[in-house]
Amino acid sequence: MKILLSAYACQPNSGSELGNGWNWALETARLGYEVYCLTTPEGKDEIEAELERVQEPNLHIIYVTVPDWVNYAFRYQPGVYLHYIVWQEQAYKKAKELSATIAFDVVHHITLGSLQMSSALWKLKKPLLFGPVGGGQKAPVAFKKYFYHWWRMELVRDFVSNLLVKFNPNVRQTMQHADKVFVTNEDTYNLAVANGAKNPEMFLDTSLAESFYPEQMPEREFNGTLKILWVGRVYPRKGLPLVLEALSKVRSDVRYELTIIGDGPAAYMIPEWLDTYKLHGKVNVRGQVTWQEVQQAYTTHNLFFFCSLRDSFASQYLEAMAYGLPLITLNLYGVKAFVPDDAAIKITPTTAEQTCQDLADAVTNLYDNPEQLLHYGKRAFEVAREHTFNKKIEHMAAYYNAYAPAQQEVLL
């Protein structure tokens, strides 16, 4: 069976969307499908080196370029949207050209994982799978104080998102023509339905390689001090100041230490936040560290405290769960849909003040009942095992077989 895969973001040995695009392409090819992957030339050197290493004959990479002036505009934020939209049209032209000699059975859009950015490949009139994607989620207005001056940028993001949904013709056309739309949260599900999707399905867009998972859940001892971990890029939407304020409100006799791993555009404000919430002496700011050090941190802490205010599903959640690290988080977006209630402490947001206190109370409760750390950790470890790349792609393969001509079915 021949699969045409659209992966604008695609690069081996990378995280986020880049790694997602590459892993979908490679692992699908390894299942026996002949994969033709459309992507940009941005990661060409890395891709070619990895192709030489893995020697997968079923995987064919097609690099789609855009005019130089579009690449120039790509340096600026508005140009990012323009670059993607132009690339999609170029990808469609290349796909149409390829279709003259290659009989594609199924077309699958993987990245970018955004409903608003959509795809132009619906015009091929082939069986089309779209996603999994997010994009419908918006940060709760009640928590705008945690964005500081970046809240204006959040409003701009929402404005542009609405414009894309309204004026990008590929959005509605993709929703109406796709045989299956996969979404990562309820907000995006509703947006897909509103734009004509016939049968959207919830499907988590985050996965981990089999090699990431430890063979056994790490053993942890609670020695009277909660060792709390926060990992991520320090963007306003990642909610770090919410976590810090919540920790400032835990009961005074609760002993804890917070480790912050990560850097980013808002990292320069961390000292100010520590002053504001009087947390000096309780927080270890490590900045950007190696991936090996991140994995070590997942094994040496006993609580992961991360409250993203806008995310489809942050990969850190799954990483922490893979190491059996219990979570305290907000009951929003992908977490709400894919993390069971018995695998994490999920606080449903109300007002900023009440939510902050609820988070603080959750920390206090775990301190008073440390046996719950093991309970939530074990369940998180089990749930994470359901989200390997292999399992996700095998699940998606059932749709390839369902929508392709019957004689082309690949037996797994």
Assess if residue 357 is contained within a domain: yes
Whether residue 126 sits in one domain with residue 48 = yes
Domain identity same for 303 and 347: yes
- Is there a domain that residue 411 lies in? no
Residue 178 shares a structural domain with residue 33: yes
Residue 312 domain-assigned (yes or no): yes
Are residues 279 and 168 part of one domain? no
Instruction: Give a yes or no: residue 57 inside a domain.
Output: yes
* Among candidate residues 393, 384, 395, the one with its CA nearest the CA of residue 213: 384
Asked if residue 352 is part of any domain, the answer here is yes
Using left for φ > 0, alpha for ψ between -120 and 50, and beta otherwise, residue 232 falls in left
Round to whole Å and give the CA distance between 124 and 115.
Answer: 19
Q: For residue 328, what are the contacts with CB-CB under 8 A and spacing of at least 6?
A: 303, 304, 305, 306, 307, 344, 345, 347, 359, 362, 363, 366
Residues 116, 185: one domain? yes
Q: Are residues 196 and 237 in the same domain?
A: no
**Cα–Cα distances in Å, from 380 out to 26, 230, 358?**
27, 17, 21
Same domain, 109 and 81: yes
Does residue 280 form part of some domain?
yes
In sequence order, the β-bridge partners of residue 106 are 3
Helices (H), 2-100: 16-30, 44-54, 68-73, 77-99
Rounded CA separation 186/183 (Å): 8
Residues 170 and 151 in one domain: yes
Return the closest-CA partner of residue 241 out of 230, 252, 254, 228.
Answer: 230
**Token couple for 342:** 């018995």
Are residues 269 and 188 part of one domain? no
Q: Indicate if 169 and 280 belong to the same structural domain.
A: no
| pTM score over 0.95 | no
The Cα angle at residue 323 between residues 318 and 326, in degrees rounded to 5:
75
Q: At what angle do helices 44-54 and 16-30 cross, to 10 degrees?
A: 30
132 lies in the same domain as 261: no
211 CB contacts (<8 Å, ≥6 apart)?
none
Task: Let me know if residue 155 belongs to a domain.
Answer: yes
pLDDT score recorded for residue 68: 84
- Can you give the pLDDT at residue 143? 98
User: Residue 199: its pLDDT value, please?
Assistant: 84
Going by C-alpha positions, the residue among 213, 228, 238, 211 that lies closest to residue 297 is 228
Helix (H, G, I), strand (E, B) or coil at 155: helix
Task: Establish if 412 belongs to a structural domain.
Answer: no
Indicate the SS3 state at residue 229: strand
Strands (E) in 232-378, as ranges, are 256-261, 283-287, 303-305, 327-330, 345-347
Question: Distances in Å between the alpha carbon of 281 and those of 128, 257, 275, 278?
Answer: 54, 8, 11, 9
Q: In this predicted structure, what is the pLDDT of residue 92?
A: 98
Going from the first residue of the chain to its last (412 residues), give the mean pLDDT of each consecutive group of 10, the final group possibly shorter.
97 86 94 97 96 97 91 65 92 97 97 94 97 94 97 93 91 96 96 94 90 90 95 96 98 97 96 97 95 92 97 92 97 95 97 98 98 97 93 93 73 54
Half-sphere exposure of 8 (CA within 13 A, CB side): 24
Same domain, 231 and 137: no
Among residues 209, 167, 163, 201, which one has the least CA distance to residue 184? 201
> What is the domain count for the chain?
2
Burial class (CB in 10 A: 0-12, 13-18, 19+), 410: middle
Q: Which range of residues forms the domain containing residue 323?
A: 210-384
The CA distance from 120 to 317, in Å, is: 32
DSSP state of 284: E
- What is the per-residue pLDDT for 75? 63
CATH of the domain at 379: 3.40.50.2000
Q: Give the pLDDT of residue 330.
A: 98
pLDDT of amino acid 328: 98
